[in-house]
């Protein structure tokens, strides 16, 4: 037995209500008791009446600065809380989708995932921690509200007195009565991918000379991508770039978009570009897909995967339904209509897909921010999306460009862009949104940029499974030709406010399917600025990130 110490503490504000975890500057997390307070609050909020006896907790993170210290703290606190077992990834690593997979396959009570996802790492960067439940998904709002409430009334936390455990390779040890099992972070996930995809067909693809560039951005996907793409599928060494996870992600920003993955973009736009380019984010749940000379918008990728998923063994029987977040383009809606399956529109964030997946109402879902996933886990899954794309290309014997062109000529093309304005003063951003919300209703029925506004509102979502309602999920202007402008404030930024404007329109003219998206959307982009007054109110002349 190790002794458990009870440490008096005071509430430390920090968790944003409505978010699935805590994401903050590393300096905040390094304040005394800060991490411990959150972990205790999670345990207090989710403890079953009979306690944690006999229960398993899954633990791991994306390897960023602070990961290893946090793992040791959580182990000592899990011992104090009375868990029977913790499954922790070797080196403290587990990608977010792999953590979801391990929770589900091992019948765990839940898991703690250490990551700030796409936010920069290192001592000056961000850290984060979130709780996923027994279904492997981010805690639903009722649970995050309970965790938030616990962070506000905490008076003490319990922690076992014990030295750090060695975590570098698989094995078992005891921390008091707690069994700590260090697992291979890749194994369960790789087994799951075997069940979903035809690995022989993928091996044959690479054996035939197919070239892939996978940029792991020095984040957690490196070991997964190497083990699966290079070791199992025979892709040549060097297919996985920046494949060693580093505490500061090599100084980069592990957000797989065209700005932060510019090296990959340059590779894919060059004359001798590989057949497919892909990148993943800090915790491995997102994916960027680039064809030779053709960056693909994540919304299009979702639609094309939905249209072609039946080419992979796991989805051969068809899809029960699909879902997308509200700001994601409506390209997938058109696929669902043709397939005759339901399409759900949810607020931003993966937790909203969980109920639909658990209820079997959807098989595939995704977000415009490069998150795509299916019912195989309860998180978005970057490497899975790459494998599904490989399966589609192998089965169709076509390039990504050919698949995209065929798709657009069948369904039309939803030109799409997102403009991010980062680190705005909070009051300026909030006032802008409040004024916009007040002014929107009066715009209904008006004609702007040659289109009639058919809907102008603040998006609210009623969960079709449990009836819960989530309000204020983004302001939107919807036009009679299907064009849309959406504004919302980011929930994941850690500096001031990040305001995102999302703009799309549908093009069905066969002669106009190959335009530059910024040009194709120019009139709507100008309209978005006029309606929101963004440039004038923020003094910003252009967005920080355009995707």
Going from the C-alpha of 487 to that of each of 184, 246, 254, 324, 437, the distances in angstroms are 42, 34, 24, 16, 10
Nearer of residues 20 and 414 to Co ion, judged by Cβ: 20
Q: Total residues at the site for Co ion (CB under 5 A)?
A: 4
Q: Which of 141, 275, 283, 379 binds Co ion (CB under 5 A)?
A: 283
Closest CA to 154 of 299, 291, 41: 41
Residue 469: both structure tokens together: 């309602």
Q: For residue 117, state whether it binds Co ion (rule: CB under 5 A).
A: yes
Do 122 and 218 contact (CB within 8 A), yes or no? no
* The total number of residues written for the chain in this structure: 547
Residue 371 interaction partner, one of Co ion, ligand VG1, none, beta carbon < 5-8 Å per kind: ligand VG1
Q: Is 131 exposed, middle or buried (0-12, 13-18, 19+ CB in 10 A)?
A: buried
Given 41, 95, 117, 221, the residue binding ligand VG1 (CB under 6 A): 117
Q: Which of 83, 109, 350, 352 binds ligand VG1 (CB under 6 A)?
A: 350
Q: Which residues contact 158 (CB under 8 A, 6 or more apart)?
A: 4, 5, 6, 7, 40, 77, 80, 81
Query: Mask: binding to ligand VG1, 299-328, rule CB under 6 A, as x and -?
Result: --------------------------x---
- Letter string b/e over residues 54-85, b meaning 16 or more CB atoms within 10 A of that residue's CB: ebbbbbbbbbbbbbbbbbbbbbbbbbbbbbeb
The residue within the footprint of ligand VG1, chosen from 349, 366, 373, 543 (CB under 6 A), is: 349
Q: Are strands 4-8 and 85-93 parallel, antiparallel or unpaired?
A: unpaired
Query: Among residues 111 and 274, whose Cβ is nearest to ligand VG1?
Result: 111
Active site residue 369: no
Stretch that binds Co ion, among 178-186, 190-198, 276-284, 466-474 (CB under 5 A): 276-284
Q: Please, which residue, 42 or 129, has the CB nearer to ligand VG1?
A: 129
The site map against ligand VG1 for 479-518 (x = CB under 6 A) is -----------xxxx------x------------------
Of these, 221, 301, 329, 348, which contacts ligand VG1 (CB under 6 A)? 348
DSSP designation for 286: B
Given a contact cutoff of 8 angstroms between Cβ atoms, the answer to whether 451 and 460 are in contact is no
Selected from 126, 367, 504, 507, the binder of ligand VG1 by CB under 6 A is 367
CB of 113 to Co ion, least distance (A): 10
348 binds, among Co ion, ligand VG1, none (CB under 5 to 8 A by kind): ligand VG1
Interacting residue with Co ion among 62, 141, 281, 463 (CB under 5 A): 281
Nearer to ligand VG1, 120 or 176 (CB): 120
Of 20, 41, 115, 117, the active-site residue reads 117
Q: What angle do CA 535, 538, 415 make, to 5 degrees?
A: 45
Helix (H) / strand (E) containing 280: strand 276-280
SS (H, E, C) 453-496: EEEEEECCEECCCCCCEECCCCEEEEECCCCEEEEEECCCCCCC
Is there binding between residue 285 and Co ion (CB under 5 A)? yes
Active site residues: 117
Which parts of this chain interact with Co ion (CB under 5 A)? 117, 281, 283, 285
Which parts of this chain interact with ligand VG1 (CB under 6 A)? 117-118, 281, 285-286, 325, 348-350, 367, 369, 371, 490-493, 500
């Amino acid at each position: 037995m190790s002794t458990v110490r009870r440490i008096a503490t005071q509430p430390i504000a920090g968790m944003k209500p409505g978010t699935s975890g805590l994401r903050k500057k590393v300096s905040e997390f390094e304040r005394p008791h800060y991490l411990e307070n959150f972990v205790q609050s999670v345990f207090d909020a989710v403890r079953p009446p009979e306690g944690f006896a006999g229960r398993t907790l899954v633990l791991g993170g994306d390897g960023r600065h602070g990961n290893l210290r946090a793992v040791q703290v959580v182990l000592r606190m899990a011992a104090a809380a009375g868990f029977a077992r913790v499954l922790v990834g070797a080196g403290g690593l587990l990608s977010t989708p792999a953590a979801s997979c391990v929770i589900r396959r091992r019948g765990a009570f839940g898991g703690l995932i250490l990551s700030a996802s796409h936010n920069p790492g290192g001592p000056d960067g961000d850290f984060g921690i979130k709780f996923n439940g027994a279904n492997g998904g981010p805690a639903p709002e009722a649970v995050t509200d309970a965790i938030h409430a616990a962070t506000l009334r905490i008076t003490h936390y319990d922690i076992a007195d014990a030295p750090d455990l060695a975590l570098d390779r698989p094995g078992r040890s005891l921390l008091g009565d707690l069994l700590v099992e260090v697992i291979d972070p890749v194994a369960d996930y790789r087994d799951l991918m075997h069940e979903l995809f035809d690995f022989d067909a993928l091996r044959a693809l690479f054996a035939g000379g197919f070239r892939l560039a996978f940029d792991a951005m020095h984040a957690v996907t490196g070991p997964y991508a190497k083990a699966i793409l290079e070791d199992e599928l025979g892709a040549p060494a060097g297919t996985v770039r920046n494949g060693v996870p580093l505490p500061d992600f090599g100084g980069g920003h592990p957000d797989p978009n065209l700005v932060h993955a510019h090296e990959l973009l340059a590779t894919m736009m060059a004359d001798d570009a590989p057949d497919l380019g892909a990148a993943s984010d800090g915790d491995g749940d997102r994916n960027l897909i680039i064809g030779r000379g053709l960056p693909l918008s994540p919304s299009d990728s979702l639609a094309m995967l939905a249209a072609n998923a039946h080419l992979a063994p796991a989805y051969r029987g068809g899809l029960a339904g699909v879902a997308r977040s509200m700001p994601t383009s409506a390209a997938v809606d058109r696929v669902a209509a043709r397939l005759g399956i339901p399409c759900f529109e949810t607020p931003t964030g993966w937790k909203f897909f969980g109920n639909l997946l658990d209820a079997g109402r959807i098989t595939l879902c995704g977000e415009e921010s490069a998150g795509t996933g299916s019912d195989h886990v309860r998180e978005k899954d970057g490497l899975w999306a790459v494998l599904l794309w490989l399966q589609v290309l192998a089965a169709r014997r076509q390039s990504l460009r050919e698949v995209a062109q065929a798709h657009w000529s069948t369904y039309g093309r939803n030109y799409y862009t997102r403009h991010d304005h980062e680190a705005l003063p909070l009051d300026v951003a909030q006032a802008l949104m409040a004024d916009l919300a007040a002014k929107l209703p009066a715009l209904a029925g008006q004609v702007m940029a040659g289109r009639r506004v058919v809907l102008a509102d603040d998006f609210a979502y009623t969960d079709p499974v449990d009836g819960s309602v989530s309000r204020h999920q983004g302001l939107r202007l919807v036009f009679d030709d299907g064009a849309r402008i959406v504004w919302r404030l980011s929930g994941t930024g850690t500096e001031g406010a990040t305001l995102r404007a999302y703009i799309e329109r549908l093009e069905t003219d066969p002669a106009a399917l190959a335009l530059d998206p910024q040009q194709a959307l120019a009139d709507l982009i100008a309209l978005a600025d006029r309606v929101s007054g963004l440039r004038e109110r923020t003094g910003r002349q252009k967005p920080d990130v355009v995707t």
